[in-house]
Amino acid sequence: MHDRAAFSTSPDRSSNMVLDDPLTRVRRRYHFHFPGVVYAITTVFLAIGAINSQNNLLFWAFGLAVGGMLVSGVISGASLMGIEVARDPIGPSQVNGLMRVRYRVRNSNRIFPAFAINLSERARHAPDRDRADRANWSGRMSEPFAFVPLVRAGETVTVDAIVKPTRRGEARFRCVAAWTVFPFGLTRKSVTFVGTRIALVRPEPAEFVPELSREHDSERSGGRSAPLRALDGHEFFSLREYAPGDSLRAIAWRRTARTGETIVRQNSAATTERLWIVLELSDDPDAGERLISLASGALHRAAARGLVVGLSVPSQGLRAAPREGRGHVEALLDTLAVIPPVGRSGPGVGHTIDGFWLGGRESAWVVSEESPSGRIFAGRGSTRGLRESTSSAEGSR
Amino acid sequence: MTTVRLSRIATLVSVCLSIAAYALADRFGVLAAVAIPVAVAGWWVTELRRAKPVPKLAINLLVTASIVWSFYRVVADRGVEGLTVSVFCQFLVLVLLVKLWDRKETRDVAQVLTLSIFLTIGAILTANTLGMGILVIANVLVTVFAVMSFHIAAGIERSAFNDRTLGALGARAPEPESVAIRAILRSFAPLCGTAIVLGLAVSVVVWIVMPRGVGESEFVGLGQFGGRRTGFTERVDLRRSGLITESTRTVLDLRLENREGFSVGTEGRHVYLRGAVLDTYDGRAWTKSPTAGPIVDMKLQGGKPWQIGPTDAQGAVVQRIVMRDVGASGVPVLAALDPVSVELEADAQLALQTAGRTLTRDGRPGRFAYTVTSIPPKPDEERSQISRTRIVGFRSETIGVEARRVLAQAGVEPDPNLRPPAWDSDACRAIERHLRSNYTYTLDTPSLRAGKDPIEGFLFETKAGHCEYFAAAMAAMTRSVGIPARVVAGYVANEFSAETESYTVRENSAHAWVEAMIADGVWATFDPTPPDGLLRQIRPPARFLAGWQHWLDSMDDAWSTSVVTFDEQSRKKLLGVDVNPAAWVQEHVSGWVAEYRSSDEGSRGRILSRAVLSVGVFGVALWLVARASRALLSGDWTRARTPQATTIHTPELMRAARIYDRALAALRRAGMAKPVWKPPLDHAETLGPSVPAAGALRRVSGVYYALRFGGCVPTAEELEGSVRAVAEIRGRASGRQPVTGAGSE
């Protein structure tokens, strides 16, 4: 068994470093728990036994029990008194993925080291007067928990809490408690800190259909997209004879060996095809979650294939045009993390793709409750007038 | 080596030490010899070898079997002193062994540690020997380390378990083992040492401060432990074997002095310390006669002598005796023959059995120090003046025949009616000589036929035995020739130290001898045990072990006098003050109860009300202490330090706070003081709308609160308004306008 986390290697430990953005300490408490009650009862019985029998070693044992209580209070109180905690910004994660909540723990005490510090996120805390600022991670993931075996005097330790989110959305971390039962486990001492961090939990990408891309490619090869060009892309385009200036890395050695002529390999240029992912939500939140998960999968797949993707959620009035770049994809995934799973209905707010306009070399993948596997629209003009083909996503899932 | 491994090793060591401590306390060496290897093997198999632990079903069956066995022991052997603690401790040992062969998760390790601590307490309840004490102290050190490291290890394991559950192994780099152990050694060890030193210091302070002698035996047998040091019994049962102990544990220290205080003890001089006088023989054992004579009770205060008889006789011997560990009741006050004065170090109840001239003491168990003066009996110098008014006999004719034969052989008239009383002493000497020279001393008790008188068996068949047989035989023979005689059980002091000028008496110095009435009311001591046999039993340790024995004795003496027998007197001496609040309370409560019982109906109410009042005052004091402790512990003393609270030092807030304080002071002067617990706006509301001061207070509080809790910096106008409001309150206070509603709170 290996000791983990806070006895971490040197980059995670530093001395005399002041925390950048420490959380605010709001409360310090002593909690009595079962071992403490057992200890107290045993101590009382020791006292009674000592008085009753006048057994001097029992008197001493009673004194030792009292000493244990005092020492426990002194050590834990002194070590917790100097604890400061900062919570680093939390990167986005996805449902059923791993989220890393990173804490920096500083012991400002000049003498006492702090041992066995547990860090637990609290879902609720009394100082949360502002309802909008309340923690809401509970229900989205298990309690984030981190353990720091040792923070020496004046030292700062970085430690991670690893959790697995179970629901997408905005996880708001408001309150963290540093607690310890060290040294003897008689009482649980805690110091509560407040400070808000928000982390996005993105939807889990559904296993998206590979046929989407093939369908998409077939549409494109039907004359609506530009022909592939021999450029320095990543996909194979054709073979040709070697010409001076060609890179040696481009030579197709096997073909060269078979034909006796030097043949080089030509790759295609990256496509600039633009794909709209259109999400049609309904009033059913469960179905909405499934569709959002599908849309997330589509985003991931499209981004992986180098497509320029955009996102439209007509029921939410959301329309993010296709743009290049990983950052754009990340932004779209963040959007999927926070959109409500239900769509609004009413006059002027359509539920469907009807009236959605596609430009040149644009296509749309529409996912809705009626066709959760997605429908593909390709070509210029209103989707109402375009040819529609349904992908075989359902069968593949 | 990792933190977790280190913690587990410390736990195992703690278990082994607790088992050893109990085994030593209960003199159950076999248990330690078996249990400790089994424990180590269990730990080795489950921890080091990572072998499959014993199946859960088997573990549960073993624990159930342990419970059933313990229950059976308690039921089957009920009534045996100290059995409950002994059975409980053995049950703990069994459960510990089972747990060490079980899988060990965090909770299991905690349970093992808890059981180990309870076993150590059981050992303390069983005995207070030096060896046990050393083991307990060592166990305390190890257990503190084990418990402290356990809480670190538990967190590490919980963290690792969390990672395993989430499948997040590898998300964090494992820590190199060398880092862990280095961190432990550098930071943990000093803290652990500090905790141990602090804990021990507090324990010693509590140990000294706790009053002794109060509340003793209030809870019947709870916490009582057996195993007080005795080497002799008050019943010489000749059919039971193995009673003669060879233990060299020290029982008491004796210093012999003359009246001038000079030591008169010398090497080679034996001193017989009488414990019990046994004057009745029932065919099997010598016991104390229940009708041996009147008993004089005396509640004796410490330091005050009790004159039992004339003390001005020549040859008085002063015996200063410190018994190291005695029981609470019926403790024999050991002394040489014919005590005439006794003085105790601490208060106790004494009982003098006038016939046997023996003393017993009821008091606090533990150390017992006293001084007793004895005057050796001296029959009249003129033999012609010796008289005899009492002639006794003995039940066995065979023994009588033998006694007469011995006397005839020695040239002493066997018939008491023909023999002059002055010759009784010679008759006793003849019998003593006969036994010493014709019989063999042995500690191996010879077996006797069922129904056979043990004295006859000794005299005519085995012709070998230990001191009790010799004493019993001589008493029987002496009685059968008409001389009153009795068996005396006690100690013979022979181990004299020239350095300390005192005798050390050990358990193996327990002895039995004979006292015979050689004249009316004059009893003389006779010891028929062969001297070489007696010396073999009570001889000091061999020369090459003498140094060690002396060193061990010193340690044991220090332990016994400083720890085991530490009592109220020692406490008072150490502290230098005579303060015992618990005794004061007990005394007064007892006084009240006695007063209540003896009072008439009319005054009972007054006494009762006084008691109720006292209890009430005590309760209120207790409540206040509890409140203060709770406030201290619950964090009220570290009130929420919100970001707003940190702005307390801003100039605006300081000024607003000053104005607010002035307003409160003005209200106080006006007789409208705001209660501490009441918010100012509530107070203003209580004062009522008709009171102008209420409006002023509301304005001042509004400005202050907005800044204090809302962070709204007041404008200059608002501050001026507050100042005016204070002046307004003051104006009311100075009497320019009558104030109404004052004192409503």
Q: Which residue has 């375009």 as its token pair? A: A386
Cβ–Cβ gap A147/B148 under 8 Å:
no
| Segments of chain B with pLDDT less than 70 | 1, 78-83, 167-181, 183-184, 215-233, 240-247, 292, 313, 379-384, 445-446, 538-547, 578-583, 586, 630-650, 677, 732-745
Terminal alpha carbon distance of chain A: 40
* Mean pLDDT taken over chain B: 80
Separation of alpha carbons B526 and B378, rounded Å? 14
The CA radius of gyration of chain B, in Å to the nearest whole number, is: 39
Residue B403, pLDDT score: 92
B50's CB contacts (< 8 A; 6+ apart) are none
Q: Which residues of B touch A25 (CB under 8 A)?
A: 641
Structure tokens at B550: 């002396």
Residue B558, pLDDT score: 80
Separation of alpha carbons A24 and A86, rounded Å? 9
Tell me which residue of B439, B426, B332, B423 sits closest to B386, measured CA to CA. B423
Strand partners, B254: B321, B503
In this complex, is the C-beta atom of B164 within 8 Å of any C-beta atom belonging to chain A? no
pLDDT tens across B323-354, in order? 877 877 788 888 887 788 999 988 888 888 88
Structure tokens at A53: 């029998």
pTM of the model: 0.66
CB-closest option in B147, B158, B641 to A147: B158
Positive or negative: CA dihedral B612, B613, B618, B623 = positive
**Closest chain B CA to residue A164:** B166
Q: Which residues of A touch B192 (CB under 8 A)?
A: 183
**Chain B: closest CA distance from residue A167 (Å):** 15
Q: Which residues of A touch B147 (CB under 8 A)?
A: 183-185
Residue A7, pLDDT score: 37
CB-closest option in B156, B188, B366 to A3: B156
Residue A283, pLDDT score: 81
pLDDT tens across A109-124, in order? 888 888 999 999 988 7
| Cα B58 to chain centroid, rounded | 39
Structure tokens at A282: 């309904």
In this complex, is the C-beta atom of A53 within 8 Å of any C-beta atom belonging to chain B? yes
Listing DSSP states for B223-243 in one string gives: T-------S--S-EETT--S-
In this complex, is the C-beta atom of B151 within 8 Å of any C-beta atom belonging to chain A? yes
CB atoms closer than 10 angstroms to residue B71: 12
Residue B632, pLDDT score: 64
Residue B428, pLDDT score: 93
Separation of alpha carbons B590 and B611, rounded Å? 11
- Three-state secondary structure readout of chain A: CCCCCCCCCHHHEEECCCCCCCCEEEEEEEEECHHHHHHHHHHHHHHHHHHHHCCHHHHHHHHHHHHHHHHHHHHHHHHHHCEEEEECCCCCEECCCCEEEEEEEEECCCCCCEEEEEEEEECCCCCCCCHHHCCCCECCECCCEEEEEEECCCEEEEEEEEECECCCEEEEEEEEEEEECCCCCCEEEEEEEEEEEEEEEECCCCCCCCHHHHHHHHHHHHHHCCCCCEEEEEEEEEEEECCCCCCHHHECHHHHHHHCCCEEEEEECCCCCEEEEEEECCCCHHHHHHHHHHHHHHHHHHHHCCCEEEEEEHHHCEEEEEECCHHHHHHHHHHHHHCCCCCCCECCECCCCCCCEECCCEEEEEEECCCCCCEEEECCEEHHHCCEEECCHHHHC
Structure tokens at B499: 């350095």
Strand partners, A31: A188
Q: Which residues of B touch A150 (CB under 8 A)?
A: 152, 183, 187-188
| Segments of chain A with pLDDT less than 70 | 1-20, 125-133, 208-235, 268-272, 344-357, 359-360, 371-397
Listing DSSP states for B362-410 in one string gives: ES-SEEEEEEEEE------S-GGG---------S-HHHHHHHHHHHHHH
Residue B140, pLDDT score: 94
In this complex, is the C-beta atom of A111 within 8 Å of any C-beta atom belonging to chain B? no
Residue A1, pLDDT score: 37
CB-closest option in A57, A118, A162 to B128: A57
When scoring A38, A57, A125 by the number of chain B Cβ atoms within 10 A, the one with the most, hence best to mutate, is A57
What part of B 513-552 touches A (C-beta under 8 Å)?
none
CB-closest option in A7, A62, A162 to B179: A7
Residue A125, pLDDT score: 61
Cβ–Cβ gap B163/A162 under 8 Å:
yes
Residue B528, pLDDT score: 92
Separation of alpha carbons A85 and A118, rounded Å? 11
In this complex, is the C-beta atom of B641 within 8 Å of any C-beta atom belonging to chain A? yes
Q: Which residues of B touch A51 (CB under 8 A)?
A: 214-216, 218, 223
**Closest chain A CA to residue B564:** A56
Q: Which residues of B touch A115 (CB under 8 A)?
A: 148, 151-152, 187-188, 191
Cβ–Cβ gap A75/B195 under 8 Å:
yes
Q: Which residues of B touch A82 (CB under 8 A)?
A: none
In this complex, is the C-beta atom of A17 within 8 Å of any C-beta atom belonging to chain B? no
**Chain A: closest CA distance from residue B125 (Å):** 7
The ipTM, to two decimals, is 0.75
